[in-house]
Structure 1
């Protein structure tokens, strides 16, 4: 399945990707003007605007520029989108890192969804979809080139996957019951992700000439500068592919797990929707496949958006990394563990291997 420009523009992470592509090269004067316009046009859509400090002058005399979405869109149209691999990789990493699902969407995401800016992003989505560098974004899991990433003291779990899945399912029931009783009707922030259990084995592909995508495509990262990479041999068998909102909806309908009480407040804030919420029951799905993989295209067109499920309600895909695979069976090390670190001398957080 090829990348669909319309699907990119229908989802918050896809729109943010297109915006970041336009703003990627800050050395160009037209990009600087567009970034200035976007920054000020975003402020009316931002809950926490921060403070403007005047150095060497009187801050009280400062009048903030009023820039409309139409004016921001006009500035963005003056920028010719670049679709080289480096630009797209950087824009993708930023779009993933700035995903949040436990609060109202960032002002830039709201601005990107306005009619004026959305129209300006149309040609960008077309260019991204045509780019040779994005062809692999729609590819299924690559079992021959997978690696896990561990941060700080994180280690691979030893408990068998079936036990972890059973424990996760009990915890989900207990959490939903707690929010439906103890926190009933209260705006209490809780769990916001809809992934399989986080202590299952997870991996991403290793790109030729670089490290695994799990080093760079991390939602709401903590700015880690070192990581441990473990190449792995993954289980043989069927891997479920999530390549867009329809695939996510099918999983939710096939094995629905009601999470209305626990997700009502957080998903309501990030989407503006009220009503019943559902996510896939991963313990049930684990009986049908060895893993589930989210393609990069699937991430960009699905993450953070409301996925309508008809009579069941709706769902949100949240907490995944692009190209990430959760494995329901054990993975095995296929090589020595490696240490990777960010090249602090660069401007694009490029990772390099420092040891085996």
Structure 2
């Protein structure tokens, strides 16, 4: 399924991707007009922050600092005057890194995400979304599992996941039920915020030109400096493909697991919706498939948004890595271990062989 510009703008991470492309193009151009546009976006986003923040002002103290009031309309007008950057592989990679790294589902959206969602920004971001959809560099974003090119990643000196899926899945199901009982009757309390399969399961991403995708795109990364990867041979069998919110909703309808008590508060913070929530019952999904794969397109159009499941129920995709596959059966190591080192450049992690 090809990437659709409209669907991209429906997803919080997709909108943030488009905004980051415009900002990167402005910073690279570094003209008075582009610097003004970057500043306008900063202040417009800052005015929408709902959490605590600290601003540092450097001056001789003769004048009191007055925070500029910049509207979404002003920020959009400043960006609209700039050309859309060329959709190079580097530009797309940098912007996707930022869009993924800034994801957070345990708190209200950031001011930058709120700005990207403002109606005034839609036409500005639409120009970028159209350019992304036409780029040859994103063809693989919508592609299904690359079964022959999968690798697992371990950060620093952490061990690779080696649990047995047959033991992990029923234990996860029991623990999730216990969490619902634990949070029943409580409001305003943050509980689990993720909707991924059990963390102990094997998980992989495809290997691209810059190494495993799982090295480059990580939500809320911890600043790791080294990593290891190893190629694996996945199990034979069907894999569930999540290429957008419709596929996620269908999976939730087939195998619903109610998680309202544990997620209601934290997902209301993240999405603004107060209601009943479900996630896929991964122990049940494991009976129909050997794994579940989230495409990059699926991530950008689905992560962090309210996905209507029907019957007053909703769900969201939270805690995934773009192009990530969770396996419900064991994988087999298929090559030697590779070591990687991170280079931080303009806020972006670049990984190279160590």
Aligning the two structures, in what range does the TM-score lie when normalised by the shorter sequence? over 0.9
Cα distance between partner residues in 2 of 1:302 and 1:315: 10
Residue 275 of structure 2: aligned partner: 275
Residue 118 of structure 2: aligned partner: 114
Cα drift, residue 57 of structure 1: 1.8
Report the aligned-residue RMSD.
1.5
Residue 301 of structure 2: aligned partner: 301
Provide TM-score, normalisation by structure 1.
Answer: 0.95
Deviation sequence 1:11-32 (CA, Å, 0-9, x none): 1000000000111131312432
Cα distance between partner residues in 1 of 2:74 and 2:290: 50
Cα drift, residue 59 of structure 1: 7.6
Residue 56 of structure 2: aligned partner: 53
| Superposition map of 1:227-246 within 5 A | 227-246=227-246
Residue 164 of structure 1: aligned partner: 168
**Residues 45 and 115 in structure 2, CA contact (< 8 A), matched pair in contact too:** yes
Cα distance between partner residues in 2 of 1:33 and 1:329: 53
Cα distance between partner residues in 2 of 1:60 and 1:286: 64
**Residues 43 and 49 in structure 1, CA contact (< 8 A), matched pair in contact too:** no
Q: Are 2:138 and 1:138 aligned? A: no
Residue 316 of structure 1: aligned partner: 316
Cα drift, residue 310 of structure 1: 1.6
Residue 80 of structure 1: aligned partner: 83
Structure number with the higher strand fraction is 2
**Residues 278 and 312 in structure 1, CA contact (< 8 A), matched pair in contact too:** no
Residue 263 of structure 2: aligned partner: 263
| Superposition map of 1:60-209 within 5 A | 61-82=64-85, 83-180=87-184, 184-208=185-209
Cα distance between partner residues in 2 of 1:56 and 1:37: 20
Q: How many residues align?
A: 350
**Residues 164 and 201 in structure 2, CA contact (< 8 A), matched pair in contact too:** no
Cα distance between partner residues in 2 of 1:284 and 1:6: 33
Cα distance between partner residues in 1 of 2:208 and 2:122: 32
Gaps of 5+ in 2: none
Cα distance between partner residues in 1 of 2:182 and 2:54: 39
Provide TM-score, normalisation by structure 2.
Answer: 0.95
Cα distance between partner residues in 1 of 2:281 and 2:108: 26
Cα drift, residue 159 of structure 1: 3.2
Cα distance between partner residues in 2 of 1:346 and 1:126: 26
Cα distance between partner residues in 2 of 1:90 and 1:344: 12
**Residues 156 and 225 in structure 2, CA contact (< 8 A), matched pair in contact too:** no
**Residues 53 and 59 in structure 1, CA contact (< 8 A), matched pair in contact too:** no
Label 1:227 to 1:48 Cα distance change in 2 as closer, same or farther (>3 A): same
**Residues 240 and 292 in structure 2, CA contact (< 8 A), matched pair in contact too:** yes
| Superposition map of 1:35-50 within 5 A | 35-48=38-51, 50=53
